[in-house]
Amino acid sequence: MQATSSWGSLWMPLSLAYTAAFLRQEGHQIKLIDCQAESMNVDELVNLVAEFLPSLVIINTGFPSIKGDMKTATTIKHFDSDIKVVAIGMYPTLLRDKMLEEYKDVDFAVMGEPEWVVNNLVSSLDSNRALNGNIGLVYRNSGRIIINPPQNFLNNDINDLPFPARDLLNNEAYRHVSHNEKFTHINIARGCTYKCTYCNAPNYYGNKFRKRKVESIIAEIKECVERYGIKVFIFWAEEYTLDQGFAEEVADAIIKNDLKITWFARSRVDNLNTALLEKMKKAGCKGLSLGIESVNQHVLDQVHKGIKTKQIEKAIEMAKKVGIRTTGHFVFGLPGETKQSAYETIDFAKNSKIDFAQFYCAVPYPNTPFGESAKRNGWIGNGDFSKYHLAESVTRNESLSIEEIQNIRRKAYKRYYLTPKFLWKSIFVAIKHKSVTPLLSFRKWGIL
């Protein structure tokens, strides 16, 4: 959902890789292409389509990439109008009533996690069955756009999914910025039980924390190490520590299996304790992303974050003590934000013991409480959904204009990163790992 990755690293298209593996398991011929990883232009993609002659093309979409995604759909349709195009991702999930209305070259759209919906769609098309029973699907019928009922995510057992089809991708292309080593995401759980008003995750994965079996996670890690030579991982879940018992089980299993891996995860600040962090460290955890958003209690309460400011400092201190690096994630322009509260957050980030910071602009995603509130209040100043990403402000709030929020984010990066101490640290990391990515990230973050 960002124009570029937070850390300047190219991320593997995990949803497509899962969907490809699921369809292949059902006996379908699959080709999976990451055009960014392969530096493939549109003409080269069309040549590949001409060679493979697919009956169905699945395109993963996001808000920042929607124009390019839809250009791809149009190009494919112009090549062969009989090819059916399916759009998956956050865009059709949050804009289910607009996707097919705005983009005529898309035949089907999926609301929420795609694997089961796409598999049912392909099965229906193969057998010429009616589509009205396919939950989570949007489609056309005699010129009318039909929106089927949404998925009940509790019916989707993620333990039934095969491992992502990494063998269909160029694994050499995905390198972690801090190591310049191959890395991949491991989806360990889906869904979140919290009610943060700005978050779009419940729309995509539901509001129940659905865990994978620990033995399945370990088996996937082993496959990545042994088959693909991948030893750096991001444990992908809305919150790795949402269920602390589960987090301990995963760490224990890594230690028991003597897996010499490096991994990163993300957590709320109120779901940590020293014993868990020590176990994570022993299991190879090197970094933890903390969803802080703001250090102003009024702002946190306004967005139903459910944390106290004291818990922020405590979480950072605990992680520092056990030797796990932290990245603080901060959002400017949420309801209740003022210039004073924003600069309090910047000062905290600069003076705290976090190792890295990411600063974002609040995004009023459709069908989220914050997005709907911003729409009702007339705060949204830019209706171009391709501008809906965390590096650009498209909405004001009660106190701050769009321009002020954008400027605050820019100043936050400058005050945090453009210091002699951090610049020397960045140069050291670049030299040590023979990578210029940390330095180039300044430009990607929009501060140079």
- Domain spanning 174-417, CATH class: alpha beta
The H or E element containing residue 31 is none
Query: What does the alpha-carbon distance between residue 315 and residue 308 come to, in Å, rounded to a whole number?
Result: 11
Cβ(236)–Cβ(185) below 8 Å = yes
Is the pLDDT confidence value at 433 over 60? no
Is the pLDDT confidence value at 443 over 80? no
Is the pLDDT confidence value at 429 over 80? no
Neighbours of 155 (CB within 10 A): 8
* Mean local confidence (pLDDT), 139-166: 96
Q: Which two tokens stand for residue 93?
A: 């999930």
Instruction: Name the one residue in this structure whose structure tokens are 């501008």.
Output: 387
Look over the chain and give the mean of its residue pLDDT values, rounded to a whole number: 92
Residue 444's pLDDT band (boundaries 50, 70, 90)?
very low
- Phi, psi dihedral angles at 144 (to 5 degrees): -95, 145
**Predicted local distance difference test score (pLDDT) of residue 176:** 83
Which string of b and e fits 137-152 if b means at least 16 CB within 10 Å?
bbbeeeeeeeebeebe
Is the pLDDT confidence value at 158 over 50? yes
**Predicted local distance difference test score (pLDDT) of residue 426:** 65
**Predicted local distance difference test score (pLDDT) of residue 440:** 45
Encode pLDDT of 235-275 as tens digits. Answer: 999 999 999 999 999 999 999 999 999 999 999 999 999 99
Residue 418's pLDDT band (boundaries 50, 70, 90)?
confident
Is the pLDDT confidence value at 381 over 70? yes
Is the pLDDT confidence value at 437 over 70? no
Q: DSSP string spanning 360-396? A: EE----TTSHHHHHHHHHT-B----GGG-STTS--B-
Burial class (CB in 10 A: 0-12, 13-18, 19+), 58: buried
Encode pLDDT of 29-61 as tens digits. Answer: 999 999 989 999 989 999 999 999 999 999 999
**Predicted local distance difference test score (pLDDT) of residue 97:** 85
One-letter amino acid of 298 = H
**Predicted local distance difference test score (pLDDT) of residue 10:** 86
Top pLDDT among 6 and 263 is at 263
Domain ranges of the chain: 14-155, 174-417
**Predicted local distance difference test score (pLDDT) of residue 445:** 47
Is the pLDDT confidence value at 225 over 90? yes
Encode pLDDT of 116-143 as tens digits. Answer: 999 999 999 999 999 999 999 999 999 8
**Predicted local distance difference test score (pLDDT) of residue 183:** 95
Encode pLDDT of 74-95 as tens digits. Answer: 999 999 999 999 999 999 999 9
Query: What does the alpha-carbon distance between residue 218 and residue 56 come to, in Å, rounded to a whole number?
Result: 33
* Mean local confidence (pLDDT), 216-240: 96
**Predicted local distance difference test score (pLDDT) of residue 434:** 57
Q: For 208, left (φ over 0), alpha (ψ -120 to 50), or beta? A: beta
Encode pLDDT of 280-319 as tens digits. Answer: 999 999 999 999 999 999 999 999 999 999 999 999 999 9
Residue 421's pLDDT band (boundaries 50, 70, 90)?
low
Instruction: Name the one residue in this structure whose structure tokens are 């700005």.
Output: 198
- Domain spanning 14-155, CATH class: alpha beta
| DSSP tag of 261 | -
Encode pLDDT of 168-209 as tens digits. Answer: 999 999 998 777 889 999 999 999 999 999 999 999 999 999
**Predicted local distance difference test score (pLDDT) of residue 101:** 95
**Predicted local distance difference test score (pLDDT) of residue 428:** 64
Is the pLDDT confidence value at 223 over 50? yes
For residue 293, give the 3-state DSSP assignment: strand
Residues in the chain: 448
Query: What does the alpha-carbon distance between residue 394 and residue 383 come to, in Å, rounded to a whole number?
Result: 8
Query: What does the alpha-carbon distance between residue 109 and residue 99 come to, in Å, rounded to a whole number?
Result: 7
* Mean local confidence (pLDDT), 216-223: 98
Residues of the chain with pLDDT > 90, as a percent, come to 86
**The pTM is what?**
0.91
Q: Which two tokens stand for residue 334?
A: 């949420």
**Predicted local distance difference test score (pLDDT) of residue 177:** 76
Query: What does the alpha-carbon distance between residue 149 and residue 155 come to, in Å, rounded to a whole number?
Result: 14
**Predicted local distance difference test score (pLDDT) of residue 420:** 73
- Phi, psi dihedral angles at 218 (to 5 degrees): -65, -40
Residue 439's pLDDT band (boundaries 50, 70, 90)?
very low
Is the pLDDT confidence value at 427 over 80? no
Which string of b and e fits 61-90 if b means at least 16 CB within 10 Å?
bbbbbbeebbebbbebbeeeeebbbbbbbb
Query: What does the alpha-carbon distance between residue 256 and residue 357 come to, in Å, rounded to a whole number?
Result: 33
